[in-house]
Structure 1
């Protein structure tokens, strides 16, 4: 009998999930929209995503990245919606949250059949069935059943881990519980049924401005800068106050874990018997970035340490090789000349609090639209040994000068000889 019960459960579970999905779609399809960015010159759509209505005043939640073209170039684009019946209308931008990839837009004209998704009071239990709604590949609105796996672990930017297929075009669509209550927003996929959602708390924060007036074009980029500045201060305050764990790398001791949301990996060429030098690496990354527009990301953090031993190179050849290795560092984020200036660099010789002497290069490039933010590239090469040494490198994206200098000092002072 017990086996029969289990088998029946396995048979009816998918059917129940499908029935719930159909019920949700039928109940809330009037509040689910395709969001379109329209090029004013051609009159055609430039990009699409999804969105969902949250009240009877016409406020709709979507992703920031869905409407980012309009936010950066409001004179070139407009925002429109299309409902499940093919009816279209224009939208106004009410607010944005660039850090959490959210935007609030509002219908310019209401109709007689407005409806809205209810907002959940809390997240469901881990393992619960949840349902992602959206418009994948411009094929029409669908419902994708999935599983709530809790908040992503070791993440600075909170995301829900969703087991289910989130496809292009579903960005900005709601993810709901079995009652149809919104508890997250589609934002990204890692493939293989691994998706990520913006959690309920961030949606609720955005909706605190749902009675606001539309944001004017001249306030769009200042609003982004305010949020970027607040975020980088929060990030670097945590990095500054954290005790960085260290580990051995050659004859040096270097950071191996600066915080729980920065992951570190190691590598070496020790198994290559033909190598003329030994290279041992420790690389750390903040894997999450902030999307500003299709050609510009920010918010990244990279730390690299490489221990080099000359083996059979000899002192002079090793020095030449060692010097060439310093020039290999590059920026850690995607950016173009439209958005950032060229790097301006300063060379120096620095001895840290542990007596480690290094030749350093510190480079900054400015954001053209955000006058308080910079990308930082830093490289240091130790000078204390003839045929071995440590190359240390970091990149920061979208930081204030004060944060960059404070981080640089902590980075250098974290290195010592064993």
Structure 2
């Protein structure tokens, strides 16, 4: 079955290694016109770029000594693989950045190593001290100290909607820069709080600071929307403050960050499942059926109906998905729940032809393969079951995470078997949950499907 893709278009603001841009063509010789050029209208006259504000100039001049580029390099040959940004805290040698900036050498230290470069061109190796994968943060130790510009004092600066913020980093590996924008509140559609920054944050600026006009750290650059203009996001400064406190309390950094990430993901899935099942799933009508959905600040639902006169059947779709995911690596994001329903009804097909249509739709689902370096192949079981009011064909597929013990992806696919002229086909996906919690979620979804009025 095919559904609307309602996922948001979001990119993390780091830069991965890519082919260099094509060389520019040769410069053309400049020739003087034989006559004065025709007068252009005001609309056609080129507009000069606005000069940076004096506040931005002063902030950058004061802060540039403590802004760093954080690079992930291949150990063999020291070839650059990805780049992001970071900033020194106070006069210490501790650097705050994003987890996704350091994820390569956090999870695969035998292949990758981290390096810092400052605005003066000095560089050195980094030591990873702590990660917070749920809030996309990391703390590094480097071989130089800060000047004291960036601080995270108690209490943190209070923000008001509309106030100016200034984001710093190294966009697209072109050089260090500062951009201006406005704070526009806390995003509630993410499972964990993020701040909306209405200003430009480009690839390579991940992990850089966003500060108020007086230099107080408001948040850490993390991502932006690709389907909008100047819709960017920051990790609130309080999460960086909490991670630094954990660093101060630990005797030494972990030897294996894969285990640390696994523990944090297991903690996340417990909170996610408990919140999802704290109240019964909402039931929505689709034809004669009642289907479970979860509409909340973290999940959004979309629907559509296809009812063309030239077709001999109709299709109604409903799709609900979370608008945020947890970044683990460039090939793996997790921590999401998805719910999809499709209702097919015959308007001119006989029972055999409609059964072929419904069967083809049911077989159209994909559960992954065993070729993934992150996940095992799916193990599936199929049964004909009946809940309180509805007989169903059900397929349950489970995949395990190769590096993170105790985490699984669950997919439950069902199709009603009570009518030869109608078919309700549903799918529930839970990414990055424990085995017991995956079964809990699947049972709750299966029990909620119904035919008839709401119970």
Q: Does the TM-score normalized on the shorter chain lie above 0.5?
A: yes
Deviations 1:91-125 (A, max 9, x none): 10000011111111011x336x6434012614411
Runs of 4+ displaced beyond 4 Å: none
- Where does residue 405 of structure 1 map in the other structure? 439
Q: Which runs of 5+ in 1 are unaligned?
A: 1-13
Cα distance in 1 for partners of 2:279, 2:54 equals: 49
The reply to whether residue 227 of structure 1 matches residue 300 of structure 2 is no
Cα pair 1:351 1:358 within 8 Å, conserved: yes
| Conservation of the 8 A alpha-carbon contact between 2:397 and 2:410 | yes
What is aligned with 2:23? Answer: none
CA distance in 2, matches of 1:362, 1:129: 50
Mapped partners of 2:241, 2:442: distance in 1: 36
1:10-69 Cα offsets, whole Å, 9 max, x none, are: xxxx88x71111111111111110001121111222111000011323000001111111
More helix by share: 1
Q: Which residue of the partner structure matches residue 115 of structure 1?
A: 148
Paired residue for 2:94, among 53, 59, 70? 59
Deviation at 1:337, TM superposition (A): 1.7
User: Equivalents in 2 of 1:26, 1:114: separation in Å?
Assistant: 12
- What's the counterpart of residue 244 of structure 1? 281
Q: Deviations over 1:140-190 (max 9, x none)?
A: 111111010011133212211110011000000001111111110101011
Q: Deviations over 1:229-282 (max 9, x none)?
A: 000100010001123222211111113434331100001112x21122111011
- Deviation of the 1:200 alpha carbon: 2.0
Alignment CA distance shift 1:293-1:234 (3 Å): same
Q: Does 1:387 align with 2:421?
A: yes
- 1:233-312 equivalent positions in 2, closer than 5 A: 233-270=270-307, 272-312=308-348
Return the alpha-carbon distance in structure 2 between the equivalents of residues 317 and 124 of structure 1. Answer: 61
1:169 & 1:73 partners in 2: Cα distance?
21
- Provide structure 2 residue ranges, at least 5 long, that are not aligned to the other structure: 1-49
| 1:123–1:327 CA distance, 2 compared to 1 (3 A) | farther
**Higher deviation after alignment, 87-96 or 198-207:** 198-207
Who is 1:317 aligned against?
A: 353
Q: Distance in 2 between matches of 1:69 and 1:316?
A: 53
Is the 8 Å Cα contact of residues 24 and 180 (structure 1) preserved in structure 2? yes
Structure 2 match to 1:98? 133
2:103 matched to which residue of 1?
Answer: 68
Number of aligned residue pairs: give it. 398
Does the 8 A contact of 2:157 with 2:217 survive in 1? no
What SS class does the counterpart of residue 160 from structure 2 fall into?
coil
Structure 2 residue aligned with 1:215, among 253, 259, 272? 253
Shift of 1:346: 0.8
Is the contact between residue 166 and residue 181 of structure 2 (CA under 8 Å) also seen in structure 1? yes
- Kept after mapping to 2: 8 A contact 1:60/1:104: yes
- The alignment's TM-score, normalised by the length of structure 2, stands at 0.84
8 Å contact kept, 1:329–1:393? no
Distance in 2 between residues matched to 1:336 and 1:129, nearest whole Å: 48
Normalising by structure 1, report the TM-score.
0.91
Structure 1 distance, partners of 2:129, 2:370, is: 27
Corresponding position: 1:44 with 2:44: no
Of 123, 128, 137, which aligns to 1:88?
Answer: 123
Provide the residue aligned with 1:11 in structure 2. Answer: none
In 1, Cα distance between equivalents of 2:365 and 2:233: 31
In terms of mean alpha carbon deviation, does 78-87 or 38-47 score higher?
A: 38-47
In 1, Cα distance between the equivalents of 2:78 and 2:105?
Answer: 14
Structure 1 residues 154 and 40, CA gap change in structure 2 (3 angstroms): closer
